[in-house]
Amino acid sequence: MKALLILVSTLLVTVSASAYTPSVSDSWDTIRSNYDVEVDEPSVRLDVGALTTSAFFVCKDDDQLRTLKKFTRCLEWSHDDDEDPSSFCLEEQKYYGTAAIEATRQRCVSWRDVDSGDSVESICTQYENYTYTQPLSFDVDVYADSQDDYRGPKLFTKKLTIKDCE
């Protein structure tokens, strides 16, 4: 009987302790919604501007990735008069952010420093084109949340695979 009580109390302590710690078998939705953890979210560079978004917020749509939710951009701004600096958007457009899975990009391969008075500025003198392929899966580290400014201990690494859009 004493051994049974010890076993039951040990199980209760184990269950209550693990109730606050996710495991690699939990879904990403469960981990991100129900646990106080830090996730090293991989990013996806979108084709428009220099925008990036979390890989958790994109899906695969044929030969491109697209955001799960639409962005809003202003197409026309109101500028009432020169004395009133306030302005507001007159016309908005909703759009999905996209990123080609395979694309040609450009990168700088040669730099030159130029003296610009008080500082030195680096400018690109030669570019090259290269083929870039967006990754569709990532190994993502999950860390225990820390109460101070430091990251908690690493709990596990879990695979994130970008799913097809619905």
Total domains, the chain = 1
* Residue 81 confidence (pLDDT): 63
**Does residue 118 fall inside a structural domain?**
no
Distance CA 2, CA 159 (A): 43
**Does residue 48 fall inside a structural domain?**
yes
How many Cα atoms occupy the beta-carbon half-sphere of 162 within 13 Å? 27
**Does residue 154 fall inside a structural domain?**
yes
**Does residue 87 fall inside a structural domain?**
yes
**Does residue 124 fall inside a structural domain?**
no
**Does residue 96 fall inside a structural domain?**
yes
Asked whether 56 and 32 are in contact (CB, 8 A), the reply is: yes
Distances (CA, A) of 153 to 15, 30, 39: 20, 19, 12
Average pLDDT across the chain, whole number: 85
83-119 pLDDT, tens digit per residue, is 666 778 889 999 999 999 999 989 999 999 998 888 8
Residue 123 has pLDDT above 70, yes or no: yes
Alpha carbon 56 to chain centroid, angstroms = 6
Q: Please state the rounded mean pLDDT for residues 19-29.
A: 87
Residue 28 is part of which domain span? Answer: 24-101+136-161
* Residue 150 confidence (pLDDT): 81
Span of 3-12, 67-76, 130-139 with lowest mean pLDDT: 3-12
Structure pTM?
Answer: 0.70
* Residue 11 confidence (pLDDT): 43
Beta bridge partners of 126: 110
**Does residue 146 fall inside a structural domain?**
yes
**Does residue 145 fall inside a structural domain?**
yes
